[in-house]
Every structure is written in structure tokens, then in C-alpha cells.
Amino acid sequence: MNEHANILVTKLEKHVDQEAFNCVFSITLCALDIICETAMGKNIGAQSNGDSEYVRAVYRMSDMIHRRIKMPWFWLDLLYLMFKEGWEHKRGLKILHTFTNNGHDTTAAAINWTLYLLGYYPEVQKKVDNELDEIFGKSDRLATLEDLKKLKYLECVIKETLRLFPSVPFFARKITENCEVAGYKVWKGTEAVIIPYALHRDPKHFPDPEEFRPERFFPENSQGRHPYCYVPFSAGPRNCIGQKFAMMEEKTILSCVLRHFWVESNQKREELGLSGDLILRPTNGIWIKLKRRNTDKS
């Protein structure tokens, strides 16, 4: 992870003290490199070759899956394969099966949204900055597992980011027993769609829900909160099995980037635009400016 995070930092160096740039693609390629090497033991070099066949297949497949979900007549494989897009889907799937397409897009989205929010709320970024100083000082050493465990405030920042911008905008569950929700009877066997973006904005559990407050996730502030009012990784028997790995990866990349750069966001929240396909994405990208981080605190 550290190796790929450092490659990302090297790539970002050219943007220091320059105009705002869209960071989404760079972060996504870094996350893709990490999941392929970690899960499959294969270094695909996505950051070095962003136009590789594999990278193009990832993005094209995501687009085709989203389109297919919205077109019920394409749900039957036999019918789908009668069209050019069906064969393109089959070819793309062959490429992706060589490695894996799970686990990079959701993580990349979380990192991109976190960078945006830190750049938009400099007072929060300053607290992360102070935590990094406490743990790493002026050292440029690689982050260890013990270091990542100590990044408590950064973890709260990531959790609050996922509250506001959950990487997966919706997921489905089958109701296993008759129940009542908000006065409505829901029968056993009903297919329910859970929308974390809305669920996470319930003022009963998160007062002033549109405010970015990482302190919500301090242990003392989380006590008594309903366990299912916050589900960025889904919940129950079919929750995300990679959530601990995802948090570790997000901490690794973010700590590496923030040890080198100060981030400034170049968009207001209403200018981002949201696209809720397979992943919750900013329609207009995430545009940030980078400055060299001041490590001299004397």
C-alpha cells in the first residue's frame, strides 16, 4: 500500500502551487493498483499506464452494468448477447476476471470525498495535520500498522465522510418477517431498497445532518446510537467483508497525501453534482489545489 501511495504522491507533485485539478482519476488508479496487488498478487501499473486495457475495461464495464440495470429487457443473458453491447460486456468481463474489479471504486470514492471535505473545512484538516505531526513528526518514514491504529481522528473524518457521501448509494434486502416501518406495514418477502444517503441524514441520530462533524464518531458521542442508522458498508449477514481493509487502505493513502500536501477545495458543495450509479460519484469531478505542507512547526 505504501509503495502505491508514494507513487500517487509523486504524481501529485506536479500540481503543487498550480491551478485546481480534478483528483478523481489519480486516486482511483492508486486504489486500483492496491487492490490488484493485494488481492491477486499482480501489479498492473495502473498509475503508470492509465490507458491500459484493464483500466479501460474497468470504466467501460461500470458504465455498461449501470445501463443494464436500468433496462430490464437486457437482464436475460441470452437476449443481451444478441446485441453488440452484450458481446462487449462479455469481452470486458474476461479481462476483469484476470484480476478483480471489487474493492477499488468504493475506496477511491471515499478518499476523493474525504479530500474534498478536508479542503472545504480547513479547521478539520488542521486537526488531522496535528495528529499526523504527533505520530510521524518530521519523519518521512512509511506508515506502519501501529501508526494507522493511532490515527483516531482521521478515522472519524473518514467515517463522517462516508456518512455524508456513502460510496454505495443503495443496496437491497429481502424482508424476512412482517414488520411496520413509520406506520406502514411491510410484509415478509418484500424487496426493500436501502438508501444510506438518506438514512445517514436522519436528524434523530445525526443532529444538523448536513454539517461535517467528525466528532460525531468519538466513542463518547457514539454511545446509544442505533447500530443500523449508519451503514456505509451495508449491514447484517451480507455486509461488506472488506470494510477493515478499506479503512486501512484509506488511512494509508490519505495519511501519505496529507503528510506532503495541504488541500484546498475549489467547489462549493452545491456545485459538485451527484451521480448515484454503482458508486456515488461527483458529476463534475472533485477539483482541488495543493500546497506544500509546512512541516516546520517551530
Q: Which of these is catalytic: 165, 171, 233, 261?
A: 233
Average pLDDT, integer, range 95-101: 51
Percent residues over pLDDT 90 in the chain: 53
**Partners of residue 97 on adjacent β-strands:** none
Looking at residue 144, its pLDDT comes to 95
Is residue 233 annotated as a catalytic residue, yes or no? Answer: yes
Q: Which of these is catalytic: 28, 99, 106, 161?
A: 106
Looking at residue 37, its pLDDT comes to 76
Q: Helix (H, G, I), strand (E, B), or coil: what is residue 259?
A: coil
Average pLDDT, integer, range 135-156: 95
Q: Helix (H, G, I), strand (E, B), or coil: what is residue 106?
A: helix
Q: Tell me the per-residue pLDDT of 211-223, one tens digit each, with 9 for 90 and over.
A: 999 999 999 999 9
Parallel, antiparallel or unpaired: strands 184-186 and 179-181:
antiparallel
**Mean pLDDT for all residues in the chain:** 86
Secondary structure (DSSP) of 63-96 = HHHHHHHT-GGG-SHHHHTTSHHHHHHHHHHHHH
Is residue 240 annotated as a catalytic residue, yes or no? Answer: yes
Domain coordinates in residue numbering, the chain: 2-44+99-292
Parallel, antiparallel or unpaired: strands 21-22 and 287-292:
antiparallel
More confident residue, 67 or 250: 250
Q: Which of these is catalytic: 240, 252, 256, 261?
A: 240
Q: Say yes or no to pLDDT of 295 above 60.
A: no
Q: Is 179 annotated as a binding residue?
A: no
Average pLDDT, integer, range 70-87: 73
Q: Tell me the per-residue pLDDT of 224-247, one tens digit each, with 9 for 90 and over.
A: 999 999 999 888 877 877 788 889
Residue 95 CA, distance from chain mean position: 23
Average pLDDT, integer, range 152-162: 98
CA distance 199 to 44: 37
Confidence band for 250, pLDDT divided at 50, 70 and 90? very high
| pTM, full prediction | 0.82
Q: What is the dihedral of CA 24, 27, 28, 33, to 10 degrees?
A: 160
CATH superfamily of 2-44+99-292: Cytochrome P450 (1.10.630.10)
Average pLDDT, integer, range 144-165: 97
Average pLDDT, integer, range 73-101: 66
Residue 167's alpha-carbon distances to 42, 104, 116, 233, 278, in angstroms, are: 25, 11, 14, 8, 9
Top mean-pLDDT range of 23-37, 235-249, 280-294: 280-294
More confident residue, 48 or 147: 147
More confident residue, 21 or 181: 21
Is residue 10 annotated as a catalytic residue, yes or no? Answer: no
Q: Tell me the per-residue pLDDT of 79-88, one tens digit each, with 9 for 90 and over.
A: 777 777 776 7
Q: Which amino acid is residue 263, in one-letter code?
A: V
Any idea which of 160-164, 236-240, 256-260 has the lowest mean pLDDT?
Answer: 236-240
Average pLDDT, integer, range 181-200: 92
Q: Say yes or no to pLDDT of 292 above 80.
A: yes
